[in-house]
Structure formats: structure tokens, C-alpha cells
């Protein structure tokens, strides 16, 4: 009898130990440092979702995963409206916004930016048979589609007498142009170029003129200078060890 009790006791002890070990593992997993990344994943080749609609792809996505790895963080990406990214940072819902976001004065009042990681600018797309629009000046008196909250929206509004139509995503602006709801789309040059190249869209063309020169940076909450430093250190490392160049070539050079 007492032997039986002893066996039962030992079995119980083993069960408790197994449980404790299990808990230990869970705890290890939950203390893994997580970097909450916000993006607006409709901006190829910087951020977009693959065919299956799940996996986040693009230059920015590869870059932030490499930055996270360098910093020892697990990267968790969520898809938000572009104009919701800075509010999400301010509310502490995300740690960093990586979304082809241009560093500018207005945004610097609200957030910190990493060092610049990509040089961009704004360009125009029009219908192939449109000979009336050749430069930004020609947009006067015309209807132009832009994405809400972007530098395109800000810049086009500065031109006189332009009817600006704002959309939630750049995909929507392209759709509006194809549907002839607008005369032109103003958007970031690499995104316009990628759209024309990848979509095989032959009814539209891109114009060469650039309205602005803009630098992309990763946006971070004002009260997280520590993260800004970690991200800049990681970016510097990736430049030094050739990882940045590899990611750049994957998205920009290989497609030419």
C-alpha cells in the first residue's frame, strides 16, 4: 500500500515538473522582444501582400525584418491606413512605422525618424494617349488622384486650380486613372515605375519629371529615442555588411 502511494506520489511529482517545464518555455516565448511594425501594405515594391494575401513583402518589409534581427527583436507587422500610422505611433499601438514614409518638417513635429534609407520623389502617370499633360505645371485645371495623407496629396494641393481626388490606397488611385475618373495620378516615382512594369498596364505611361526629392525614414514615437538609436545602429550595420545592398538589389536592380 505505502509502495503504491509512493509510486502515485512520484507520478504526481513528475506531472508537476513537466507542467513547470512547460510554463518555463511559455515564459521564454512571451519575453521574446517584439517590434510592432505598422505599414500600409499597398505600395509595391516597398510593402504589399503576396498572392495569398498574407505574407508581407517588399523592400521595406525585408529591411525592417533585417533591422529587427540585428536588434534581437521578433518583427510583427500590421497593415493600417497610411494616414493612421502616425496616430498609431502616438497612441503607442505600434513601435515603428515602415511605409515608404517621407521625412518632412510637418511629421518631424510629431515623430522621430531613423536615418534616411531610400531616396525617392514624386512623379506623374497619365493615360497613354494624353498629350496635354507633360509636366507638373500642366496639371492645372485637371483632375488628379492621390493617396490620403501622403506627400503627393500635400504637393498637388499646392498647385493652383487642381481638382484633387483623394483615395485610401495607391492601388485605388491607379484604378481611378484606368476608369478615366481622373486625368493623372501623382505618387512616389519608384511605386509608379513598378506599377507600370509589373502590371503590364499598357493604357498608361509615366512622365520623367520629378516634383520633389524625398528621403524615406522609419518613424518612431517621440518618446522612444532609444529605439531610434537602436534602429540607426542596425541600419548602419546592414550598410556595412552588405545586407542593405542585397535587399536593394532584390527589389530594384533585378527587375530592370
Judged by the rule CB under 6 A, the positions of this chain that interact with ligand ARG are: 40, 43, 47, 82, 99-102, 147, 150-151, 170, 188, 214
Q: Minimal distance in Å, beta carbon 25 to ligand ARG?
A: 37
Q: Which residue, 119 or 203, is less far from ligand ARG as judged by CB?
A: 119
If one counts every other C-beta atom within 10 angstroms of the C-beta of residue 226, the result is 9
Nearest to 184 by CA among 150, 151, 152, 160: 152
Using DSSP, state whether 225 is helix, strand or coil. helix
Using DSSP, state whether 76 is helix, strand or coil. strand
Q: Which residue, 95 or 188, is less far from ligand ARG as judged by CB?
A: 188
Residues 111, 223 contacting (CB under 8 angstroms) = no
Q: Minimal distance in Å, beta carbon 218 to ligand ARG?
A: 12
Q: Minimal distance in Å, beta carbon 153 to ligand ARG?
A: 8
What whole-number distance in Å separates Cα of residue 113 and Cα of residue 227?
10
Q: Which residue, 150 or 228, is less far from ligand ARG as judged by CB?
A: 150
Q: Minimal distance in Å, beta carbon 26 to ligand ARG?
A: 35
What whole-number distance in Å separates Cα of residue 171 and Cα of residue 185?
10
Q: Minimal distance in Å, beta carbon 233 to ligand ARG?
A: 24
Q: Which residue, 41 or 130, is less far from ligand ARG as judged by CB?
A: 41
Q: Which residue, 47 or 70, is less far from ligand ARG as judged by CB?
A: 47
CA atoms within 13 A on the CB side of 122: 21
For residue 133, CA distances in Å to 58, 98, 115 come to: 31, 32, 35
Residues 58, 251 contacting (CB under 8 angstroms) = yes
What whole-number distance in Å separates Cα of residue 95 and Cα of residue 76?
10
Name residue, grid cell 506599377. Answer: 195
187 DSSP β-pair partners:
123
Q: Which residue, 38 or 68, is less far from ligand ARG as judged by CB?
A: 38
43 DSSP β-pair partners:
47
Q: Minimal distance in Å, beta carbon 232 to ligand ARG?
A: 19
Q: Minimal distance in Å, beta carbon 194 to ligand ARG?
A: 12
Q: Which residue, 214 or 243, is less far from ligand ARG as judged by CB?
A: 214
Amino acid at each position: 500500500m505505502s509502495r503504491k502511494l509512493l509510486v502515485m506520489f512520484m507520478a504526481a511529482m513528475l506531472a508537476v515538473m513537466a507542467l513547470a517545464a512547460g510554463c518555463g518555455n511559455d515564459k521564454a516565448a512571451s519575453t521574446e522582444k517584439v517590434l510592432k511594425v505598422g505599414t500600409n501594405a499597398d505600395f509595391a515594391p516597398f510593402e504589399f501582400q503576396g498572392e495569398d494575401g498574407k505574407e508581407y513583402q517588399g523592400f521595406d518589409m525585408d529591411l525592417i525584418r533585417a533591422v529587427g534581427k540585428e536588434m534581437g527583436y521578433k518583427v510583427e507587422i500590421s497593415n493600417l491606413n497610411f494616414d493612421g500610422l502616425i496616430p498609431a505611433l502616438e497612441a503607442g499601438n505600434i513601435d515603428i512605422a515602415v511605409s515608404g514614409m517621407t521625412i518632412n518638417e510637418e511629421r518631424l513635429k510629431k515623430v522621430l525618424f531613423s536615418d534616411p534609407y531610400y531616396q525617392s520623389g514624386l512623379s506623374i502617370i497619365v493615360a497613354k494617349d494624353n498629350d496635354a499633360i507633360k509636366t507638373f505645371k500642366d496639371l492645372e485645371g485637371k483632375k488628379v488622384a492621390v493617396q490620403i495623407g501622403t506627400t503627393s496629396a500635400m504637393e498637388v494641393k499646392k498647385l493652383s486650380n487642381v481638382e484633387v481626388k483623394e483615395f485610401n490606397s495607391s492601388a485605388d488611385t491607379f484604378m481611378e486613372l484606368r476608369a478615366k475618373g481622373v486625368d493623372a495620378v501623382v505618387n512616389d516615382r519608384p511605386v509608379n515605375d513598378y506599377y507600370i512594369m509589373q502590371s503590364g498596364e499598357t493604357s498608361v505611361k509615366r512622365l520623367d519629371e520629378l516634383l520633389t526629392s524625398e528621403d524615406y525614414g522609419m518613424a518612431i514615437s517621440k518618446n522612444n529615442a532609444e529605439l531610434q538609436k537602436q534602429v540607426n545602429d542596425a541600419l548602419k550595420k546592414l550598410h556595412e555588411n552588405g545586407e542593405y545592398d542585397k535587399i536593394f538589389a532584390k527589389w530594384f536592380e533585378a527587375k530592370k
